[in-house]
Amino acid sequence: MASDKIILTGDRPTGRLHIGHYVGSLRRRVQIQDEGDYKRMYVFIADAQALTDNVDNPEKVRQNLIEVALDYLSVGLDPEKTVIYVQSQIPELCELTFYFMNMVTVSRLQRNPTVKTEIQMRGFSGESIPVGFFTYPISQAADITAFDATHVPVGEDQKPMLEQTCEIVRRFNNIYGEGTLTEPKIVLPDNAACLRLPGTDGKAKMSKSLGNCIYLSDTAQELKKKVMSMYTDPLHIHVEDPGHIEGNTVFTYLDAFSRPDHFAEYWPEYQNLDELKEHYQRGGLGDMKVKKFLNKILEETLAPVRERRKEYEQDIPAVYEMLRKGSETAREAAAATLDRVRHAMKIDYFDDAQLIAEQAKAFSQK
């Protein structure tokens, strides 16, 4: 039996994609895509959402659209299997957002922990938050439900958005009819290190807006430089000192990327990550050695991505054409959902012959 799963995710074109995106969401998307157990898979570039906190920098969003598209193709998203589209090209999303706005209170939005953190990060203070940014969880609910998405593979920071979406769907269906909209499920990475990969500074999560990223498109030299200057354990000063694993970014990245066969290939002194961690904690293992190992693993992972990117960069008009076609396909799907929504909301006046007949009758009897 064919699967009825509809998979959907997106990324903001606020910069090139980084290894946090890769372990948090991209790697899973490609795996789901290639396993083929779905009815449809959508991946979109959230340019309209990116504008909510970049209103005075439209050029940034415009320039990064193609970068994100190239990142998608280079990690293995395939437009033959996945509908890749641009959010702003689907006006139905605005319409659905507009209807959803009536179902969410200001206090509910203020409770969203991810938005709270993001407001702080962006330095918005008091009531200076753009209304569009404040309400983006509502627009995200429209992004998801317009395509009847059942599964959304994202990083942990998206949990509050999915919860908000489910609340809206339940409220909507309760008022306008069960089954009108579909409640989505979040698909989180199964590896804890991938839920929210920290930045190379070890502080917050790796994020385009914080400048603490290893980009998928970094050169081998850039990658090495970033790995070698990564945050580790500040108390591990001399090689003999016992080291700490918790909060040690290098080990978090090894948790996210290393496999036993990496040890066999690059560091046969250890069988697996547990053995390496034990030695580090015991003392006698220097940071540089561990960083060199991490660099080899990341280089092995990223080199093919970098190579594929170079190939796609040779034909940029074809990449835009791919996005245009994907947006056309996506728009048809969203339009079908909006027809259903307008009908459920009783605002499909001109398609409702019964309404027109009843009104005609009522008025003729006046």
DSSP state of 57: -
CB of 49 to ligand ATP, least distance (A): 8
Tell me which residue has its CB nearest to ligand ATP.
24
CB of 84 to ligand ATP, least distance (A): 14
Nearer to ligand ATP, 209 or 281 (CB): 209
Nearer to ligand ATP, 211 or 284 (CB): 211
Residue 152 structure tokens: 């959304």
Would you state the torsion angle of the CA atoms of residues 299, 304, 309, 312, taken in this order, to the nearest 10 degrees? 170
d(CA 52, CA 319): 25
Q: How many residues does the chain have?
A: 366
Nearer to ligand ATP, 130 or 286 (CB): 130
The number of beta carbons lying within 10 Å of the beta carbon of residue 18 is: 24
CB of 52 to ligand ATP, least distance (A): 10
Q: Do residues 153 and 7 lie in contact, with contact meaning Cβ atoms separated by under 8 Å? A: yes
Report the phi/psi class of residue 272: left, alpha or beta, with left for phi > 0 and alpha for psi in -120 to 50. Answer: beta
Nearer to ligand ATP, 44 or 100 (CB): 44
Nearer to ligand ATP, 64 or 180 (CB): 64
- Identity of residue 188: L
Nearer to ligand ATP, 51 or 338 (CB): 51
CB of 53 to ligand ATP, least distance (A): 8
- Enumerate binding residues for ligand ATP (CB under 6 A): 11-12, 14, 20-21, 24-25, 154-155, 157-158, 196-197, 205-209
d(CA 129, CA 131): 6
Helix (H) / strand (E) containing 45: strand 40-45
CB of 50 to ligand ATP, least distance (A): 7
CB of 209 to ligand ATP, least distance (A): 3
Residue 67 structure tokens: 């970068």
